[in-house]
Amino acid sequence: MTAPLVEVANLETHFPIRRGLLRRQVGAVRAVDGVSFTIDKGRTLGLVGESGCGKTTVGRSVLRLVEPTGGGVRFAGQDVRATHGAALRALRRRMQVVFQDPYGSLNPRMTVRSILEEGLVIHRLGDAAGRLDRMARALEKTGLARPALDRYPHEFSGGQRQRIAIARALVLEPEFLVLDEPISALDVSIQAQVVNLLVELREQFGLTYLFISHDLSVVEYVSDDVAVMYLGRIVERAAAARLCRQPLHPYTHALFSAVPAIDPARRRRRIVLPGDVPSPARPPAGCRFHPRCPLAEAACMTIDPPATVVADQVVHCHVAARELAATGDVSQASATIARRMAAAVPSTLEATVAAGVIH
Ligand SMILES: Nc1ncnc2c1ncn2[C@@H]1O[C@H](COP(=O)(O)OP(=O)(O)OP(=O)(O)O)[C@@H](O)[C@H]1O
Ligand code: SF4
Ligand SMILES: [Mg+2]
């Protein structure tokens, strides 16, 4: 068996909080606080969770665009955190990123040619003619033609700009792409085109993706596996279809209950969680989800739930672990948790009435 292309073990990225004249450190934002996952070559891991849970910081830490403060990252067997200088530059060529905002991520003063050529020059790839050839090929792969090279980003639509951002990554012939909300800033009408392009490119070039998104339907469509993050940690991970069909963690249940399902068999009652996400500077003790969890018990407040593994599904929850032990069956445990959650929290309509919006 070959080793995974990307291996992340107990990754931590804490940002210091500084106060006062001397800028003394008074605390830390624990944006990523013990995250582990692997991605095999050619596979896509989807990363989902509410705003601020640490998804972008995971992506940036894996690429070392921010310095992790703990844990390990290996790429193709190489220790990314222990790599420096020219070796790190060589590694960076193989791991690229596409950001959410094609407006902000492309320099408006640079032509598409200079945008694409920048990376080739940094990585000393090809002579002038060879670079031009690579750039034209990268553009064509994303559905844009060679004349686009002499135009500026503002001359393109949002979808076309995101194609340029993808071409900028592809021109370096990477193996791994972090796609951080790559379609969120685009019109709904062109989101599908860009998603399909990413899927085609993955198949054509055997690419490996970390796909970060708020949109669970897109994540399910694009990903082989999905990891759910809450407050700096992964709380559940499974094959995409399995996670959507039979989630175990109460937070995953709540997330997926908000996805409109066309298939009546998959339609769920919407679960509205109480309260806001706590600050990652002061994560709650025990299970971090306990202040908002409708199923929280005394142990949840003090004991951090360890991983329970059933087939390819990993969940961190005391109640899910107990249900699994009792039934020995994931779909039964998932159904029991869904029933208990529905009984414990008001539906959207009830919550709206309770808040005095409808009478
Ligand atoms: N450079 C930084 N310095 C200090 N805090 C940061 C920094 N970058 C991120 N954070 C904090 O880390 C936490 C995680 O942020 P991150 O951007 O990774 O979340 P996210 O899941 O990508 O959110 P979103 O869905 O809104 O993009 C947040 O509380 C954020 O404010
Ligand atoms: S461990 Fe407890 S608080 Fe955490 S998700 Fe499970 S039931 Fe809820
Ligand atoms: Mg983000």
* Domains contained in the chain, number: 2
Domain presence at residue 305: yes
* Ligand number, closest to the Cα atom of 54: 1
How far, in Å, is the centroid of ligand 1 from the Cα of 9?
A: 20
Domain presence at residue 209: yes
pLDDT at 182: 93
How far, in Å, is the centroid of ligand 2 from the Cα of 249?
A: 8
Distance CA 260, CA 90 (A): 43
How far, in Å, is the centroid of ligand 1 from the Cα of 52?
A: 5
Domain presence at residue 260: yes
Domain end among 223, 258, 293: 223
pLDDT by residue for the chain (359 residues), tens only, comes to: 688 999 999 999 999 999 998 999 999 999 999 999 999 999 999 999 999 999 999 999 999 999 999 999 999 999 999 999 999 999 999 999 999 887 788 999 999 999 999 999 999 998 999 999 999 999 999 999 999 999 999 999 999 999 999 999 999 999 999 999 999 888 888 899 999 999 999 999 999 999 999 888 899 999 999 999 999 999 999 999 999 999 999 999 999 887 766 565 655 677 888 888 899 999 999 999 999 999 999 999 999 999 999 999 999 999 999 999 999 999 999 999 999 998 887 654 454 444 444 33
For the CA of 249, the nearest atom of ligand 2: 5
Domain presence at residue 239: no
Domain presence at residue 240: no
Domain presence at residue 1: no
Which residue is associated with the tokens 């996670």? 243
How far, in Å, is the centroid of ligand 2 from the Cα of 333?
A: 14
pLDDT at 323: 97
| Residues 214 and 260 placed together within one structural domain of the fold | no
| Residues 68 and 192 placed together within one structural domain of the fold | yes
| Residues 217 and 279 placed together within one structural domain of the fold | no
Find the CATH number of the domain harbouring 32. 3.40.50.300
| Residues 156 and 51 placed together within one structural domain of the fold | yes
| Residues 110 and 158 placed together within one structural domain of the fold | yes
| Residues 190 and 331 placed together within one structural domain of the fold | no
| Residues 303 and 195 placed together within one structural domain of the fold | no
Cβ neighbours for 319, distance < 8 A, ≥ 6 positions apart:
250, 295, 297, 300, 337, 340
Cβ neighbours for 170, distance < 8 A, ≥ 6 positions apart:
96, 138, 141, 142, 201, 205
- Angstrom CA distances, 294 to 53, 141, 249, 317, stand at 20, 48, 11, 13
Distance CA 292, CA 63 (A): 32
pLDDT at 165: 94
| Residues 32 and 166 placed together within one structural domain of the fold | yes
Does ligand 1 have an atom closer than 6 angstroms to the CB of 280?
yes
| Residues 208 and 258 placed together within one structural domain of the fold | no
Phi first, then psi, for residue 117 (nearest 5°) are -75, -25
Domain end among 223, 238, 267: 223
pLDDT at 111: 96
| Residues 31 and 167 placed together within one structural domain of the fold | yes
What end-to-end distance do the CA atoms of the chain give, in Å? 61
Token couple for 75: 């790429």
* Ligand number, closest to the Cα atom of 15: 1
Q: Quote the pTM value.
A: 0.93
Instruction: Please report how the helices 330-344 and 318-327 are oriented relative to each other, as an axis angle in degrees rounded to 10.
Output: 130
| Residues 40 and 171 placed together within one structural domain of the fold | yes
| Residue with CA nearest ligand 2 atom 1 | 317
Token couple for 208: 């490996």
- Give me the domain span that covers residue 65: 6-223
Domain presence at residue 237: no
| Residues 259 and 165 placed together within one structural domain of the fold | no
* Ligand number, closest to the Cα atom of 99: 3
Domain presence at residue 170: yes
pLDDT at 264: 59
pLDDT at 171: 94
Does ligand 1 have an atom closer than 6 angstroms to the CB of 68?
no
Strands (E) across the chain are located at: 6-19, 24-39, 44-48, 70-75, 78-79, 95-98, 176-180, 208-212, 225-230, 233-239, 308-310, 313-315
Does ligand 1 have an atom closer than 6 angstroms to the CB of 221?
no
Distance CA 310, CA 323 (A): 12
